[in-house]
Amino acid sequence: MSEATMPDSEDAARRKAQEARLEKTWETPSGWRYWSAVNNTEVGLWYTATSFLFFLFAGALALLVRAQLAVPDNDLISASLYNQAFTLHGTAMMFLFAVPIFEAVAILLLPTMLAARDLPFPRLSAYGYWCFLIGGVFVMGSIFFNAAPDAGWFMYPPLTTDPKLTGIGADIWLLGLSFIEVASIAAAVELIVGVLKCRPPGMRINTMPLYCWYVLIVGGMILFAFPPLIAGDILFELERLAGWPFFDASRGGDPVLWQHLFWIFGHPEVYIVFLPSIALLAMIVPTFARRPIIGYSWIVLAAVGTGFLSFGLWVHHMFTTGLPAISLGFFSAASEAVAIPTGVQIFVFVATMLAGKMTRSTPMLFAAGALAIFVFGGLTGVMVAIAPFDWQAHDSYFVVAHLHYVLIGGMVLPLFAGAYYYYPLIMARKLSDRIGRLVFWLMFLGFNIAFLPMHFTGLRGMPRRVFTYPGGIGWDWLNLISSAGAVLFAAGVLLFTWDAIWGIRRRADSPRNPWGAGTLEWLNPIPGADYGVRSVPAIASRYPLWDDPELPRRVDEGREYLPDAEEGKRETLVTSVLDARPIQCLRVPGNSFMPMIAAVLTGAVFILTTFHLYWTGLAVGVAAILSILAGCGAARRWCRRSTRRISAAA
C-alpha cells in the first residue's frame, strides 16, 4: 500500500513511530553525560557562550585600560598590570572571540541552513571546542597569577625573545595560542566539508545561501592564514627555549621576519572576522526588505575577491620598517584595491534595502548602524593605506580608532544584529525589541563617543600603549571623553547580556519563522527537536520558503529524504559538490567523552612544554595521539556501512 492510499490513522501512526526513532537516536544525554554531546546544536551553543564570555572578560580589561587613561598622571594600576591588561584585551578579542565566535555561530546555524541533521565530523567539532576552552582559560587565567604576556597582542621581537625580560608570559601566549589555533583549523575543516557535501538535494552551489558562501571562503582563508602564525610561534619558541637565532639580528636573524609571519596571518585575520559578520547581514537584509538580495553573483565574487586580496596587503602594517619604495607602492596599491570588492558588498545591501519594502526591526537597526560605522572605518583605512600618511599616524591612537571602527562596525554590531535575528531559532524565544533599541543606542553612541575622539588624540601625537601621560598637552579631555564612551558602550553590552540570560525567561515561545524569512534555517518548528529537520527536503530555489509554501508541511509529514532512523544510527545526506545530487547516506558518530579526553591530553602537552616539562609533555603527547586514534576508531565502528546509497525521496 502506497502512502497516497494509506488510511490517515495508519499514516499518522507511521509518522509517529518514525519521529520516536529519530528522537531516541538523536537524543541529547542528560546529567553528567550531557558533556559528552557532540551534535552541532550543543557544541555550537557551548562554543558561542564561551566566546561571548571571553568577549566580556576582554571588555572588562578594556575598561581597566580606559580607567587608567581617563586622567593624566594616573596611578590607578601599575605599569606591569596595564601592559598585561592591554595585551590580553587584544589577544582575547582577536583569538578568543573574533574567530571563534564565527566558527561557533557557523557550527550552530549551518546545518539548519543546509537542512542537514549535523555536520560531517561532529567529534572534530567537539574536540575543537574543548581545545578552545582549555587554551583560552590557560592564556586568560595567567593574569590572575601576574604571569600574563605583557608585550602586546603582536609580541614583536626583540623585546619578547629574551625570557629574562618577559618571564613566562610570552611562552604562555605563544604555546597557548598555538593550541587555540588547532581548534580554529579543526572547525574550518568541518565547515568547508559541510558546505560542499551536506547540502540538500537541488541546492546547487550557485543557489546556496550567501552565508554558506562566506563560510566556505573564510574556512579556506583560515587554512592558509593560520599556518604562517603557527610556524612563527614554533620559531619564536625555539629561539626562547633553545637559543636559536631566527629573530636575533646580532646572530644573523631578522626581527622583521616575525612581523612578516605575523601579519601574513594578521591581515587576512581582519577579513576572516569581517566576512562572516557581513554574511549575517546577507541573511538579515533580504528578510526585512521582503525580496531576494540584488546581485547575488556580484556579492559572491566580491567576497571571493576580498578573501583573495587580503593575502596580498599585509605589509601595510609595516610601512615604517624601512622597506624598499617599490614594496611600499605595491602594498599601498593593494590596500587601496581591497576597497573595491568591500564596497561592492556594501552597495549590494543598500540596493536591496532601497529596492525592497523595508520592515523596521531591531536586527535591521543594528545592521544599519554597522554599515554606517564600517564605512567610516573603511575611509580611515584608505587613509592609513597611503604610506606618507601612515608614517605620520603609525603607532598613534589614530590607528587604534581606525582598528576599532572597522572591527566594531564590521564585526561586533553585525554579530549583535545576528543575535537578535537568530535568538528565536536557538533559544525558542525572542529578545525584547524595546530593550534591543536601548541596547543599540547605548552601544552606537557609546562607541562613537569612545573612539571618534581617538582620531584627534592620535593626530595630536598620543602614542599607543602608553601607561600614563602628562597633563596640559591636549590629550586630557579627549581621553576622559573616550573613557566615558567606553562605559556607555559597556552598559549596552551588559543590558543585552541581562536580556539574553534572564529577561528571556519571562517570554513565551516564538512562533515558527517569526520574521517571515525565505531560507531553510527557519523551516523547522520552534522549539526544534534534537534531530533537527524532520526530513531532508529537495529544493529548487534560493528562497524555498517563499517560493514553495507547502514545503514545511511536506517536511513535517516526513515525505522527503531520510524521514526515519530505522537502524538507530545518526544519518544525514551527502550530495555532490556542484549540483547537490543525492549520493549517499552519511552516518555520523554519536556522543562520546573521547573528544574531551583527547583535547585535555593535547592541551596538557602545550601547558607542560610552557613550564619546560619536556619528557612529561612527550609522554602525554603519545597518550593524546592514542586517544585521538581511539576516538577515530570508535567513530569508524559507529559509521560502518555509511555509504548506503540514496536513490529517491522517502
What cell does 323 get?
622597506
**492: exposed, middle or buried (Cβ count in 10 Å: 0-12, 13-18, 19+):** buried
> Is-contact 471 420, C-beta < 8 A?
no
Take residue 395 and report the three cell numbers written for it: 603607532
Q: What is the pLDDT of residue 111?
A: 93
In this predicted structure, the answer to whether residue 208 has a pLDDT above a threshold of 70 is yes
Phi, psi of 516, rounded to the nearest 5 degrees: 70, 40
How does pLDDT run across 12-44, given as a tens digit for each residue? Answer: 888 889 899 999 999 999 999 999 999 999 999
Q: What is the pLDDT of residues 48-67, one digit of tens each?
A: 999 999 999 999 999 999 99
- CA neighbor of 87 nearest in space, from 160, 181, 158: 160
pLDDT value of position 505 = 84
- Please give the span between the terminal C-alpha atoms of the chain, in angstroms, as a whole number: 14
The answer to whether 41 touches 109, Cβ cutoff 8 Å, is no
Helix (H, G, I), strand (E, B) or coil at 433: helix
Reported as a pLDDT band with limits 50, 70 and 90, residue 650 is: very low
Mean pLDDT of 530-544: 92
Residue 498 makes CB contacts below 8 A (sequence gap 6+) with: none
| Residue 2 in this model has a pLDDT that exceeds 70 | no
Give the pLDDT confidence score for residue 5 in this predicted structure: 54
Please tell me whether the peptide bond between 549 and the residue prior to it is cis, using omega within 30 degrees of 0.
no
Helix (H, G, I), strand (E, B) or coil at 585: strand
513: left (phi over 0), alpha (psi -120 to 50) or beta: left
- Per mean pLDDT, which range of 175-184, 525-534, 536-545, 635-644 is the poorest? 635-644
Average of per-residue pLDDT across 498-502: 94
The per-residue pLDDT for 162 is: 82
Per-residue pLDDT at 182:
81
Quote the mean pLDDT of the chain.
91
Greatest alpha-carbon span in the chain:
90
pLDDT of residue 512: 92
Locus of grid cell 571562503 = 217
d(CA 115, CA 377): 37
CA dihedral 294, 296, 300, 301 (to 10 degrees): -80
Q: Give the predicted TM-score (pTM) of the model.
A: 0.94
Residue 392, pLDDT score: 93
Taking the CB of residue 68, how many other CB atoms lie within 10 A of it? 23
Task: Give the residue-averaged pLDDT of 95-102.
Answer: 93
| Res. 338: pLDDT tops 80 | yes
* 76-90, 157-171, 551-565, 597-611: least confident range: 157-171
pLDDT of residue 455: 96
- pLDDT exceeds 90 at position 4: no
φ/ψ of 94, rounded to 5, equals -85, -40
Q: For residue 44, give the C-alpha cell.
A: 555550537
At residue 636, the pLDDT reads 62
Positive/negative CA dihedral, 463, 464, 470, 471: positive
Q: Are the C-beta atoms of 77 and 136 separated by less than 8 Å?
A: no
- Euclidean distance between CA atoms 96 and 59, whole angstroms: 12
The answer, yes or no, to whether residue 191 has pLDDT greater than 80, is yes
The pLDDT of residue 515: 95
Q: What is the pLDDT confidence band of residue 649, given thresholds at 50, 70 and 90? A: very low
Give the per-residue pLDDT at 503. 85
Predicted pLDDT at 647 = 43
- What pLDDT, on the 0 to 100 scale, is given for residue 7? 64
Q: Is the pLDDT of residue 646 over 60?
A: no
Confidence of residue 403 (pLDDT cuts 50, 70, 90): very high
d(CA 278, CA 541): 22
**What pLDDT shows up at residue 51?**
96
Choice among 4-18, 262-276, 332-346 with the minimum mean pLDDT = 4-18
Q: How far, in Å, CA of 408 to CA of 374, rounded?
A: 8
CA distances from 198 to 355, 535, 549 (A): 33, 14, 23
- For residue 164, what pLDDT is reported? 82
User: Which pLDDT value is given to residue 478?
Assistant: 96
Among 160-174, 273-287, 377-391, which stretch is predicted with the lowest mean pLDDT? Answer: 160-174
What mean pLDDT do residues 108-135 have? 93
Count H helices and E strands in the chain, helices first.
22, 2
Q: Please state, in angstroms and rounded to a whole number, the distance separating the CA atoms of residues 649 and 538.
A: 8
H or E segment to which residue 332 belongs = helix 325-337
150 CB-near residues (< 8 Å, 6+ apart):
80, 83, 84, 87, 166, 169
**Banded model confidence at residue 638, pLDDT cuts 50, 70, 90:** low
